[in-house]
Amino acid sequence: MDVANSSHGAVKGTPSPFDWFFLGSLALALCGVMWVGVVAYEEGQKVETVKRHGEAWGQFFTSKTAARAQESFEPAACAAGAEAKTTWGGCYQALVAPGGALDGLKNPFSLAPQKVTSCKFGGLGTAGELMLEKLVSTPPGAPVPFIAEPLLETDAIHQKMHIRVTICDQGGNPIRVGEFDF
């Protein structure tokens, strides 16, 4: 077999236009991946901020549980007692009022004050919101130990209660922070 001179031209040693196109495409793809990484990191930071807000609510609940039964408890709208005159709506307003124990918590997604709502799967409007539920015990022998119900403004809080704190991530999915006595 005779290998004769090939008809290909001499190698120039510089990239061809197709090589430049490939290198440009590669650089754009790398920039796109870096941009997606930065956006994902920022979204993750926002979710972590909301988790810290949920933990602040839980910390308040656990630190004030024993003191709530005392007559000098502040805020008075959250005090426990024999009468059912204290409601969650009044307590919530006292906690988030200027100078209140949980004042200044802002939703990092909307930059509005933190609200208590319910998470809606796929609902972008609930991103960064809190969900507070009261856990109601079921009768002995029931297949589930408790039922979770939304904590409504009209609910009496004059007795000790068990509260579940949940946050909504950027897609409206619930992330459970914890269950606390109050």
Q: Which tokens go with 107? A: 């939703």
Which residue carries 């949940």 as its tokens? Answer: 166
What pLDDT does 47 receive?
Answer: 94
Longest dimension (CA), the chain: 107
Picking from 162, 53, 166, the residue whose alpha carbon sits closest to that of residue 118 is 166
pLDDT band for 55, please (50, 70, 90 cuts). very high
What's the pLDDT tens digit per position in 122-172?
778 889 999 999 999 999 988 999 999 999 999 888 888 999 999 999 888
Report whether pLDDT(76) > 90: no
How far are the Cα atoms of 2, 3, 14, 27, 32 from residue 6, in angstroms, in the given order? 11, 8, 20, 35, 42
What pLDDT does 4 receive?
Answer: 56
What pLDDT does 2 receive?
Answer: 55
Give the mean pLDDT of the chain. Answer: 88
Q: What percent of the chain has pLDDT over 90?
A: 55
What pLDDT does 81 receive?
Answer: 76
What's the pLDDT tens digit per position in 106-127?
999 999 988 888 888 877 888 9
For 73, phi and psi rounded to 5 degrees?
-65, 135
DSSP for residue 8: P
Q: Is 45 helix (H, G, I), strand (E, B) or coil?
A: helix
Q: Which tokens go with 106? A: 């802002």
Average pLDDT over residues 31-36: 98
Which residue carries 């006595």 as its tokens? Answer: 181
Least confident residue range of 7-21, 83-97, 98-112: 7-21
Give me the residue spans of the domains in the chain. Answer: 19-181
pTM summary value:
0.80
What pLDDT does 53 receive?
Answer: 94
